[in-house]
Amino acid sequence: MTDMQNQKLKGSFKLTRVGVKYVKKPVTVKRPNVEVTLIVDFDLYVDLPAELKGSHLSRNLEVLSRVIDESVREPVSGLEDLGSKICQELLVRHEYATCSEVHMSADYFLERGKSNGNTSLESYKLKASAESIRNGQTRKCIGVEVIGMTACPCAMEEVRIRQGIEDDNVALSITHNQRNVTSLSLEVPADRPLEADKLIQIVEKCLSSPTYEILKRADEAQVVIDAHSNPKFVEDVVRDVLHEVLEQYKDLPDDVKVSVKSESYESIHKHNAYAERDTTMGELRA
Amino acid sequence: MTDMQNQKLKGSFKLTRVGVKYVKKPVTVKRPNVEVTLIVDFDLYVDLPAELKGSHLSRNLEVLSRVIDESVREPVSGLEDLGSKICQELLVRHEYATCSEVHMSADYFLERGKSNGNTSLESYKLKASAESIRNGQTRKCIGVEVIGMTACPCAMEEVRIRQGIEDDNVALSITHNQRNVTSLSLEVPADRPLEADKLIQIVEKCLSSPTYEILKRADEAQVVIDAHSNPKFVEDVVRDVLHEVLEQYKDLPDDVKVSVKSESYESIHKHNAYAERDTTMGELRA
Amino acid sequence: MTDMQNQKLKGSFKLTRVGVKYVKKPVTVKRPNVEVTLIVDFDLYVDLPAELKGSHLSRNLEVLSRVIDESVREPVSGLEDLGSKICQELLVRHEYATCSEVHMSADYFLERGKSNGNTSLESYKLKASAESIRNGQTRKCIGVEVIGMTACPCAMEEVRIRQGIEDDNVALSITHNQRNVTSLSLEVPADRPLEADKLIQIVEKCLSSPTYEILKRADEAQVVIDAHSNPKFVEDVVRDVLHEVLEQYKDLPDDVKVSVKSESYESIHKHNAYAERDTTMGELRA
Amino acid sequence: MTDMQNQKLKGSFKLTRVGVKYVKKPVTVKRPNVEVTLIVDFDLYVDLPAELKGSHLSRNLEVLSRVIDESVREPVSGLEDLGSKICQELLVRHEYATCSEVHMSADYFLERGKSNGNTSLESYKLKASAESIRNGQTRKCIGVEVIGMTACPCAMEEVRIRQGIEDDNVALSITHNQRNVTSLSLEVPADRPLEADKLIQIVEKCLSSPTYEILKRADEAQVVIDAHSNPKFVEDVVRDVLHEVLEQYKDLPDDVKVSVKSESYESIHKHNAYAERDTTMGELRA
């Protein structure tokens, strides 16, 4: 029987990535004290050599299904570990490929509260990825996307000047503030697991203020006061996250990749403000 | 030759809407002093009687193409008029239909500026629609979607209480403010054209402040001061727009439909706040 | 202490809907043989009388949180039941409101397979809603959104004519086929629970073919043959679902609302084909 | 007066990209025989050195506004040229930046028709970008995104085997076909303008078939026959585009970047199939 994908080609081109996008699957992740069901979006790719007509795309889905099934018996402790297994398995099943790649995204929830009586589950996004090279390394990353709040330090200063406020002790000055989305992604060394919860904590600490689902009036005022006591540009958010990463992950090796992005839905503009740094632990330490 | 759509069915069901979605077309609209090219998204539907197997969908595209072509020779003065012509033509071509419906959406730009030196083209959305009943009325609507800013009156008051501010004359109190999207849609009587530009003006007047693409520092401070001098819930925005509509369109008859929606991307929450009123001029006057 | 939302207004307007949008929460639904964790998007609204300045939006989140917390102790059997409880509780907490409304959406998974060896979890969407009137009824709906496949009967016929195929017994004719998204929503009577799984079965039965995540080559050919043996317009899909609903739910009362929508991402066009029927069991039976 | 963005920092980090996203503007592009109004989405960035607190984001908007204003007097011949001017101007205004970057996206229309009587404006997307290095090169790219159709060669072969069709001369075999989105992007040398229209032609030639807004029945059958006579994997589409680029752009230098992506909304699956190649003219020639 013909296997069309296996047809040999002459004078053709290799392809960088061939695979499937937007595959949804429930996945259970197990940690020492908690078990979470995540609804995960997967994109899976391998490369394709010039002489082969097609990649066997159904193998991607079989690999995905099997690795997730196995995770029921032998639980994974994080999406990045699941991705790592999938990448290695993709290279086994696609014997012609030299590299594989998986991207994952899922809603995630943590309990938060401004004051005692009003905790609630706040929503975040997990973003994990992994890539394998045949006979080489598998590298994996775990990332988080956090919605929070920024208050603009520049408009605050301008208003103070306009209003002739010189004394720093008077009431906080007004400024524009807005919803902000900041993401932090770290490469995860093979022998050094990282906690997504801690990444979320780092980002929330670096915003003008975290945001909360349930805020009774006194709490609402406190969040507003917190944010105005702590005004931040998107540039500040990215840099403060980088500082915090350096501080909290002293043991991570120099080649570990770090990526931080911060985007503010500016309340005074129709467009967004954006800042980003793609780097490594080594470059940050330099 | 068989015409499959024309096949007669027994014991089947009529359908409320059959048609095509997401058809993109450039359209030129001509007004006394201005000619604008809009890139318009169209959805077009007719109903289908129980005894017919299918609607001739290609006729929808032919009607659309022809009416837009005609608009080059005989310019239309607004999207709602284009929609009205399309609806009537849909009933001519779909001889089996009893009603037709068109929805349109397009980016739109107006020059705005906080102070003299810095005007720029601000972006808005036009949302128009039309529906025709065979041997009956064609009704048409023009709507706008405006991005602006709201500052929360409740958190402002709470902060004043917390900070012991009793005198209304001191500096404005801080509060959370955020990007807001407010839309206003009005039915357009056959003999009484309405201006989208005026609808945009009405909405911008009813926000805590309009927003601007280019704001040098002094202007930025002024927008922040304006917004805090004019704090608004989404409820306030919707009601103020309704008041303004009543005031500015005294001549519109009682059966004219009015719809106002306001959504704030809350800076202190991960979710949005929303208010809406669907009504008629008559109900508003009652 | 001032309660700004409680301020009394004169000469203002009532609002149709005031509330919050895009609140995400994990919810556990328990049925006789299965327990599922859903990640649910919630929109929650009440109306607001003319004389009140604002709706207490934080109450919406408190209600949501409490009802979901209760569902851990006393499990709900479906999203529509959760929505029903939320609606009733919203009217308790918003003492000024005359009606409340909740919309919910969540990914959902069922095991499917074309042949024995290759089952997998296919993804669907659940869409539920509920609305309450004070001192009146609470009505609730459960709906599903199913991705499947349609093959066009008209192009198939045209190709047969072009190719001079007269005998119906020869190989199936080619036609365009495409991804289709069909949704079915049914009102759920208070004393007559409905199963989302059954709604998904009904929709899948009415498409040219369901679609599958994992298809080895023989299965892939079978799906293609199935779809071409069963060509359908979007109009056919909607009507076949309506027929099936009539057949399978003979006991549902006449006032039960039924909504069916089908949209095909036409492979031969850049736009989508669409058909819809909004009706009641009574109208369908007429 | 304090300039907060100009504050000097110690021990901080440089940022890779700081700027604004989602700025919408109408732009007029002028070519020998045609003048087109495009509604363009812009993202604009510069880098930021470690010792500066903030980037002056309003300058990005001023640059954008001025370059577009100038284009009214001195028309640009393509989005990539506009991007190139913006990038250079960004480096003038952000005196601290070492590089700048602009990304642009716009709907675009070309007249197409399957047969004489039924031409219509088909919609495409233009995607252009530019980046500048201070005292170095400005590189610019023009890209197109084309919606078309693929028919699967593998399912076609499987069906032939299943149906015992051995003779290649009999009627075309059925297979699954679907909407496909393919993009091609080419770097544009300073002295060698490229035509987006030609890129669109290349992509349309490499799909199983282009798609059309208006297809009367005979044309519809012809598109179906064309697509089935020309079955393609996403891998085939990418490679055929690469071949065509090599053939049509023999004069382009080796360092010119080439990117091709093809994504099929599989009709038999809920997920998409995807293939990609990022390369240079030199690598393709090797």
Please tell me the predicted confidence (pLDDT) of residue D75.
Answer: 87
Note the pLDDT tens digit of each residue in A50-67: 999 999 999 999 999 999
For residues A260-278, give the mean pLDDT. 98
Residue in C54, C235, C242 nearest the CB of B18: C235
Distance between CA D65 and CA D266 in Å, rounded?
42
The encoded tokens of residue B24 equal 């993109």
Q: Supply the mean pLDDT for chain B.
A: 94
What's the full length of chain B, in residues?
286
Count of A-D CB contacts under 8 Å: 135
Count of C-D CB contacts under 8 Å: 144
Q: Which residues pair with D20 in a beta bridge?
A: A273, D44
Residue in D21, D275, D278 nearest the CB of A18: D275
C-alpha distance from B107 to closest chain D C-alpha (Å): 8
Chain B residues near residue A269 by CB distance under 8 angstroms: 211-213, 215
Chain A residues near residue B211 by CB distance under 8 angstroms: 266-270
Greater pLDDT, A202 or C216 = A202
Chain B residues near residue C13 by CB distance under 8 angstroms: 238-239, 242-243, 277, 279, 284
Q: Which residues pair with B128 in a beta bridge?
A: B104, B142
As its CATH architecture, domain D13-130 has: Roll (3.10)
Q: How far is CA B31 from the centre of its chain?
A: 19
C-alpha distance from C69 to closest chain A C-alpha (Å): 10
Using a 10 angstrom Cβ sphere, with 0-12 exposed, 13-18 middle and 19 or more buried, the burial of residue C35 is exposed
Residues of chain C with CATH 3.10.270.10: 14-136, 145-286
Please tell me the predicted confidence (pLDDT) of residue D168.
Answer: 59
Best interface-test mutation with D: which of C174, C213, C216, C228 has the largest number of D CBs within 10 A?
Answer: C174
Chain D residues near residue A270 by CB distance under 8 angstroms: 22-24
Residues C154 and C228: beta-carbon distance below 8 Å: no
Chain B residues near residue D120 by CB distance under 8 angstroms: 61, 65
CB contact under 8 A, A178 and B269: no
First vs last Cα of chain B: how many Å apart? 59
Please tell me the predicted confidence (pLDDT) of residue C166.
Answer: 66
CB contact under 8 A, C217 and D154: yes
For residues D73-79, give the mean pLDDT. 90
Distance between CA D48 and CA D94 in Å, rounded?
9
Find which of A163-172, B111-120, C252-261 is predicted with most confidence, using mean pLDDT. Answer: C252-261
Lowest mean pLDDT among A225-234, D170-179, D229-238: D170-179
Residue A215's pLDDT band, with cuts at 50, 70 and 90, is very high
Distance between CA A20 and CA A44 in Å, rounded?
6
Distance between CA D242 and CA D202 in Å, rounded?
9
Residues B226 and B204: beta-carbon distance below 8 Å: no
Residue in A61, A121, A214 nearest the CB of C120: A61
Please tell me the predicted confidence (pLDDT) of residue C263.
Answer: 98
Residue in C20, C238, C263 nearest the CB of B273: C20
Count of B-D CB contacts under 8 Å: 50
Chain A residues near residue B161 by CB distance under 8 angstroms: 221
Distance between CA A225 and CA A203 in Å, rounded?
19
Residue D116's pLDDT band, with cuts at 50, 70 and 90, is low
Distance between CA D120 and CA B195 in Å, rounded?
30
Per-residue CA distances from A3 to A8, A55, D129 (Å): 10, 11, 40
Lowest mean pLDDT among C226-235, D64-73, D84-93: D64-73
Please tell me the predicted confidence (pLDDT) of residue B202.
Answer: 98
C-alpha distance from A162 to closest chain B C-alpha (Å): 8
Distance between CA C14 and CA C52 in Å, rounded?
8
Is the predicted pLDDT of residue D151 greater than 90, yes or no?
yes
Q: Which residues pair with B274 in a beta bridge?
A: B263, C19
The DSSP result for B226-272, as a single string, is HHHTS---HHHHHHHHHHHHHHHTTTS-TT-EEEEEEEE--SSSSSE
Note the pLDDT tens digit of each residue in B31-76: 878 899 999 999 999 999 999 999 999 999 999 999 999 988 888 9
Distance between CA B60 and CA B256 in Å, rounded?
28
Residue in D5, D61, D235 nearest the CB of A154: D5
Chain B residues with CB within 8 Å of chain D CB: 23-26, 37, 39, 58, 61-62, 65, 107, 109, 118, 120-121, 123, 213-216, 220
- Percent of residues, chain B, with pLDDT higher than 90: 83
Residues B265 and A265: beta-carbon distance below 8 Å: yes
Residue in A39, A58, A121 nearest the CB of C25: A121
CB contact under 8 A, D23 and B58: no
Chain C residues near residue A215 by CB distance under 8 angstroms: 58
* CA-closest candidate to residue B64, choices B99, B94, B95: B94
Element (H, E) at D21: strand D15-31
Is the predicted pLDDT of residue A4 greater than 90, yes or no?
no
C-alpha distance from A237 to closest chain B C-alpha (Å): 16
Note the pLDDT tens digit of each residue in A96-129: 999 999 999 999 999 998 776 678 899 999 999 9
Number of helical (H) and strand (E) elements in chain D, helices listed first: 7, 9
CB contact under 8 A, A20 and D55: no
CB contact under 8 A, D276 and A18: yes
As its CATH architecture, domain D137-286 has: Roll (3.10)
| Matching residue, tokens 């009893």 | B98
Chain C residues near residue A147 by CB distance under 8 angstroms: none
CB contact under 8 A, D216 and B58: yes
Distance between CA B23 and CA B63 in Å, rounded?
12
Distance between CA D113 and CA B205 in Å, rounded?
47
CB contact under 8 A, C17 and B284: no
Chains that touch C (3 or more CB pairs under 8 A): A, B, D
Distance between CA C268 and CA B20 in Å, rounded?
13
Residues C157 and B4: beta-carbon distance below 8 Å: yes
Distance between CA B41 and CA B28 in Å, rounded?
14
Please tell me the predicted confidence (pLDDT) of residue B31.
Answer: 81
- Nearest-5° Cα angle at C226, C225 to C228: 65
Residues of chain B with CATH 3.10.270.10: 12-136, 145-286
Residue A205's pLDDT band, with cuts at 50, 70 and 90, is very high
Residues B56 and B18: beta-carbon distance below 8 Å: no
The DSSP result for B126-186, as a single string, is EEEEEEEETTS-EEEEEEEEEEEEEE-HHHHHHHHHHTT---TTSSPPP--EEEEEEEEEE
CA atoms within 13 A on the CB side of D158: 20
Residue in D161, D174, D223 nearest the CB of C268: D223
Residue type, A75: P
The encoded tokens of residue D243 equal 């071949």
Chain D residues near residue B25 by CB distance under 8 angstroms: 109, 121, 123
Residue in B1, B17, B153 nearest the CB of C161: B1
* CA-closest candidate to residue C9, choices C60, C59, C55: C55
| Matching residue, tokens 């409905």 | C194
Q: Which residues pair with A41 in a beta bridge?
A: A24, A105
For A145-286, the fitting CATH number among 3.10.310.10, 3.40.50.970, 3.10.270.10, 3.20.190.10 is: 3.10.270.10
Using a 10 angstrom Cβ sphere, with 0-12 exposed, 13-18 middle and 19 or more buried, the burial of residue A77 is middle
CB contact under 8 A, A149 and B267: yes
For residues D117-124, give the mean pLDDT. 87
Please tell me the predicted confidence (pLDDT) of residue B169.
Answer: 55
Render each residue's pLDDT in chain C as its tens digit; 286 residues: 568 888 888 889 999 999 999 999 999 999 878 899 999 999 999 999 999 999 999 999 999 999 999 988 888 989 999 999 999 999 999 999 999 999 999 999 999 987 766 788 999 999 999 999 999 999 999 999 999 999 999 999 999 888 877 665 556 899 999 999 999 999 999 999 999 999 999 999 999 999 999 998 889 999 999 999 999 999 999 999 999 999 999 999 999 999 999 999 999 999 999 999 999 999 999 9
Q: How far is CA B268 from the centre of its chain?
A: 27
Is the predicted pLDDT of residue B2 greater than 80, yes or no?
no
Residue type, C201: Q
Residue A47's pLDDT band, with cuts at 50, 70 and 90, is very high
The encoded tokens of residue B198 equal 């005026």
Chain D residues near residue B26 by CB distance under 8 angstroms: 37, 109, 121
Fold observed for domain A1-136: Urate Oxidase (3.10.270)
Q: Supply the mean pLDDT for chain A.
A: 94
For B12-136, the fitting CATH number among 3.40.50.150, 3.60.15.10, 3.30.70.100, 3.10.270.10 is: 3.10.270.10
For residues B189-201, give the mean pLDDT. 95
How does B62-72 read in b/e, with b if 16+ C-beta sit within 10 Å?
bbbbebbeebe
The encoded tokens of residue B158 equal 């709470």
Residues A237 and A184: beta-carbon distance below 8 Å: no
Residue type, B82: L
C-alpha distance from D236 to closest chain C C-alpha (Å): 18
Lowest mean pLDDT among A35-39, A164-168, D104-108, D132-136: A164-168
Q: The whole model's pTM is what?
A: 0.96
Chains that touch B (3 or more CB pairs under 8 A): A, C, D
Q: Where are the beta strands (DSSP E) in A119-240?
A: 119-133, 138-151, 177-188, 209-210
Question: What CATH code is assigned to C14-136?
Answer: 3.10.270.10
Nearest CA in chain A to D278: A16
Note the pLDDT tens digit of each residue in B252-273: 999 999 999 999 999 999 999 9
- Nearest-5° Cα angle at C156, C150 to C161: 170
DSSP, collapsed to helix, strand or coil, labels residue C214 as: coil
Please tell me the predicted confidence (pLDDT) of residue B16.
Answer: 98
Chain D residues with CB within 8 Å of chain C CB: 122-123, 147, 149, 154-155, 158-159, 161-163, 165, 170-179, 209, 211-213, 215, 217-218, 220-225, 227-228, 265-271
Rounded to 10 deg, the angle between the B153-162 and A217-228 helix axes is 80
Residues of chain A with CATH 3.10.270.10: 1-136, 145-286
Per-residue CA distances from A110 to A208, B234, C104 (Å): 19, 29, 21
Residue in C1, C21, C279 nearest the CB of B271: C21
Nearest CA in chain B to A273: B213
- Nearest-5° Cα angle at D35, D30 to D36: 105
Chains that touch D (3 or more CB pairs under 8 A): A, B, C
Per-residue CA distances from C210 to A65, B268, C180, C201, C258 (Å): 19, 43, 10, 10, 22
CB contact under 8 A, A158 and B221: yes
- Nearest-5° Cα angle at A18, A259 to D233: 150
Chain B residues near residue A173 by CB distance under 8 angstroms: 171, 174
